[in-house]
Chain A
């Protein structure tokens, strides 16, 4: 090979290495700790409601949303971030409580419970990571229900602490949809 080609290859190699390094640097700063379903540049189709309906892990929550009359909200045009308790989370409620919640006389309480898992706007894993870093290890999110959730990290995992001090972990990748994002959690978040 001519010297010029070697030089070009060398420079290319250095530049590529530089780019990779900056990508890694970006990832360590921004790092999607839980991963995401979002593809770069794509606006996802389907609503939060549809994502839940299609999930094996959230059938109890889907039932709760129906019982509270909030299906149109989660399938609508306004943006929300939902910390979605999985079936196991509902299973942790004291015996019979989950069933009690679904009854019509519990509607106000069920609505209050669901809105305590709902945050305005779209807060992705990456947004959370940045905010946690800026906040020196934690960040607070105001819920639609009026209380505050504190998000922090334990290792690579996101941890949500509710107003009562109860903790839940974010499980798996986030699901970005047309009207917001879903983070699956393994506990029910209390408002107080």
Chain B
């Protein structure tokens, strides 16, 4: 059974649910039916009557999300922002701590405290390992403690640079692309490649030092047949997917690295990748990211949410986004649970 929720205050939900009604279908002369039925940029000849159009209530009640920050020129500022974001993230994760401790207690020995050197300080004067281990609460998975992204695995960490940005030369003097990728991303007269330890390789124009391309490395710590990395004991599937992917006695679901994994509860082995996410940051008040020009709703939603002069609809990562056609600003999020 399909359930459609508005991500908004409960009041907005209660107010708007009764208002949602299926529109009348256009007359027979409209030409091709579903799947193209919903994709009309303008009124079709002899098309929908005025009263039938579905209008999702503009959810002005809640604050637009913070605009995604453009990567800054200052490495220090970037780190401070990441630290803030990290703390916010981990506040939410705190309730799961009990879960994780129970999981550790099963004696599989994989969740080890990372040994760290209290005296190692970086250029900000922070003892990174202290920060990582104290603030994490969950403990950093081995191999991530040293990174300044606060224990976030590759793919979930914010990109350090966007295409068009100037690469800071003091960050990436040395060719540091991971070994298994070197044959494919090797420095050339025109470009050089640098890795940011966050799961992204950057292709940089040698003349201008401007980032001309970005290669995200998926599956950094995750893969079918591998053990779930340490630190993923708690159920952490994004909300819009929770009705579809919930823990059962024969399967657990964990989110990481822009994917949802099915995990064997006993062995902690990753059995399959059940869904992929774009990881694009899309919130109310933000401009739709590049690459969502085309109408892309799954067929079963096209009758209800179709492009018109007032609203466009775009699907991404389990949600339907209502977008202003002129400004491309996201006005509302409809959580689509398939």
- Is A131 in contact with B295, judged by CB distance below 8 angstroms? yes
A30 to chain B, nearest CB (A): 6
Q: Which of B35, B259, B278 contacts A120 (CB 8 A)?
A: B278
- Is B36 in contact with A126, judged by CB distance below 8 angstroms? yes
B197 contacts A by Cβ under 8 Å: no
Range of interface residues on chain B? 35 or more
Interface 1/0s, chain A 97-115, versus B by CB < 8 A?
0000000011111011001
CA gap between A108 and B276 in the complex, in Å:
14
Chain A residues with CB under 8 A of B279: 146
Interface centre among A23, A43, A122, A151 (most CB of B within 10 A): A122
Chain A residues with CB under 8 A of B290: 140, 142, 148
- Of the listed stretches B26-34, B64-72, B121-129, chain A binds B26-34
B223 contacts A by Cβ under 8 Å: yes
CA gap between A72 and B338 in the complex, in Å:
16
CA gap between A142 and B276 in the complex, in Å:
13
- Is A106 in contact with B31, judged by CB distance below 8 angstroms? no
CA gap between A119 and B278 in the complex, in Å:
8
Query: How many A residues, CB 8 Å from partner?
Result: 62
Interface centre among A76, A120, A140 (most CB of B within 10 A): A120
Tell me the chain A residues, 130-169 only, with Cβ under 8 Å from chain B: 130-131, 134-135, 139-149, 151, 163-164
Q: Which of A19, A71, A121 contacts B296 (CB 8 A)?
A: A121
- Of the listed stretches A5-13, A54-62, A77-85, chain B binds A77-85
Q: Which of B31, B184, B272 contacts A109 (CB 8 A)?
A: B184
CA gap between A178 and B217 in the complex, in Å:
29
CA gap between A128 and B293 in the complex, in Å:
9
A69 contacts B by Cβ under 8 Å: yes
- Is B294 in contact with A127, judged by CB distance below 8 angstroms? yes
Q: Which of B244, B262, B293 contacts A77 (CB 8 A)?
A: B244
Q: A19-B29, A78-B275, A144-B276 are in contact. Are A121 and B214 (CB under 8 A)?
A: no
Tell me the chain B residues, 202-256 only, with Cβ under 8 Å from chain A: 203, 212-220, 223-225, 244
Chain B residues with CB under 8 A of A80: 276
- Is A112 in contact with B218, judged by CB distance below 8 angstroms? yes
Chain A residues with CB under 8 A of B219: 107-108, 111-112
Q: Which of B31, B220, B280 contacts A22 (CB 8 A)?
A: B31
Chain B residues with CB under 8 A of A120: 278, 296, 315-317
- Is A130 in contact with B274, judged by CB distance below 8 angstroms? no
- Is B291 in contact with A141, judged by CB distance below 8 angstroms? yes
Tell me the chain B residues, 283-315 only, with Cβ under 8 Å from chain A: 289-300, 314-315
Interface 1/0s, chain B 166-188, versus A by CB < 8 A?
00000000000000110010000
CA gap between A132 and B29 in the complex, in Å:
24
Q: Which of A27, A124, A141, A145 contacts B216 (CB 8 A)?
A: A145
Interface 1/0s, chain A 61-96, versus B by CB < 8 A?
000000001111100111111000000000000000
Q: A73-B276, A112-B216, A142-B291 are in contact. Are A126 and B296 (CB under 8 A)?
A: no
B75 contacts A by Cβ under 8 Å: no
- Is B213 in contact with A192, judged by CB distance below 8 angstroms? yes
B42 to chain A, nearest CB (A): 10
Chain A residues with CB under 8 A of B220: 108
Chain A residues with CB under 8 A of B296: 81, 119-123, 127
Chain A residues with CB under 8 A of B12: none
CA gap between A142 and B293 in the complex, in Å:
9
User: Closest chain B residue to A180 by CB distance?
Assistant: B298
B333 to chain A, nearest CB (A): 14
- Is A26 in contact with B31, judged by CB distance below 8 angstroms? yes
Q: A111-B219, A126-B35, A127-B295 are in contact. Are A134 and B29 (CB under 8 A)?
A: no
Chain A residues with CB under 8 A of B39: 30, 126-127, 130
Q: A72-B262, A148-B291, A191-B215 are in contact. Are A43 and B36 (CB under 8 A)?
A: no
- Is A108 in contact with B31, judged by CB distance below 8 angstroms? no
User: Closest chain A residue to B298 by CB distance?
Assistant: A79
- Is B214 in contact with A76, judged by CB distance below 8 angstroms? no
User: Closest chain A residue to B275 by CB distance?
Assistant: A78
Q: A19-B29, A30-B32 are in contact. Are A111 and B213 (CB under 8 A)?
A: no
B105 contacts A by Cβ under 8 Å: no
CA gap between A30 and B277 in the complex, in Å:
29
14 A-B pairs within 8 Å (CB atoms) are namely A22-B29, A26-B32, A69-B223, A73-B272, A73-B275, A79-B315, A79-B338, A109-B180, A112-B216, A112-B218, A119-B291, A120-B317, A124-B36, A147-B215
Taking Cβ atoms with an 8 Å cutoff, the residues of B that contact A are: 29-36, 39, 41, 44-46, 180-181, 184, 203, 212-220, 223-225, 244, 258-259, 262, 272-280, 289-300, 314-318, 338
Taking Cβ atoms with an 8 Å cutoff, the residues of A that contact B are: 19, 22-23, 26-27, 30, 32, 38, 40-41, 43, 69-73, 76-81, 105-109, 111-112, 115, 118-124, 126-128, 130-131, 134-135, 139-149, 151, 163-164, 176, 180, 191-192
